[in-house]
Amino acid sequence: MRVELTVNGETRVLEVEPRMSLLDCLRERLLLTGAHAGCEHGVCGACTVLIDGVPTRSCLMFAVQADGYAITTIEGLTPGPGELSPIQDAFCETHGMQCGYCTPAMILTAHALLASNPTPTRAQIVDAISANICRCTGYAQIVEAIALAAERMSGLNQPGRRP
């Protein structure tokens, strides 16, 4: 089946099997391997991508169902080659990862949270990432990373702008 996928701002026309999940399509056909296959039944959240800016399980969606939506993967968040987004930077700084398997999904989820709520409370951060399982960190540094990114992105930790 012919499908037109807009991934990270670029429109790609593909011929895919109707049964192919969006996750498999992103990884195998478009070679965007940042979305990870974890449980493949919607529980772990490792495959999260943004569909029109909203975190969605790419393992629970068929590629043909994604036709026409704006899809954002972790590869689409960097401002340029070799650069990191403020959220990615914050994850590095607070060491908000260990094995890295859940990290792309965590960062995309954080990205969607901060886009709709630039100054989330700790409880809101925890709620936002509650659908993403991390088996390494215990979540503390991930929450810290998102709080730090929020602070930076809203300009609160710039010199002379401290409240």
Partner 1 sequence: MLAAGDETRIIAGGQTLVPLMAMRLARPKRLIDIARLSDLAFVRHERDAIAIGATTRQCLLERDALVRADVPLLAKVMPFVGHAAIRARGTIGGSLANADPAAEIPLVAVTLGATMLYREDAANVEIAAADFFLGPMMTTLPAAGCLTAVRFPLWGGARIGVGFHEIGARPGDFAFAAAAAQIALNADGVCQRLALGIGAVAARPLRPDTVAKALEGTRVEARVVQEAVRAALADIDLFSDLHASAEYRRRAAECLAVRAITDAHQSAEAARAS
- Those residues whose C-beta lies under 8 Å from the C-beta of residue 113, and which sit 6 or more positions away, are 120, 124, 125, 128, 146
Footprint on this chain of partner 1 (rule: CB under 8 A): 18, 21, 40-43, 45, 48, 51, 54-57, 59-62, 64-65, 109, 127-128, 130-131
We find the least distance from the C-beta atom of residue 6 to partner 1, in angstroms, to be 16
Question: Cβ distance 133 to 43 under 8 Å?
Answer: yes
Minimum CB separation from partner 1 for residue 65, in Å? 6
Name the residue nearer to partner 1 (CB basis): 59 or 149.
Answer: 59
Which of 54, 156 has the CB closer to partner 1?
54
Angular region, 132: left φ>0, alpha ψ -120 to 50, beta rest: beta
φ, ψ for residue 106, nearest 5 deg? -60, -45
Residue (90 or 113) nearer to partner 1, CB:
113
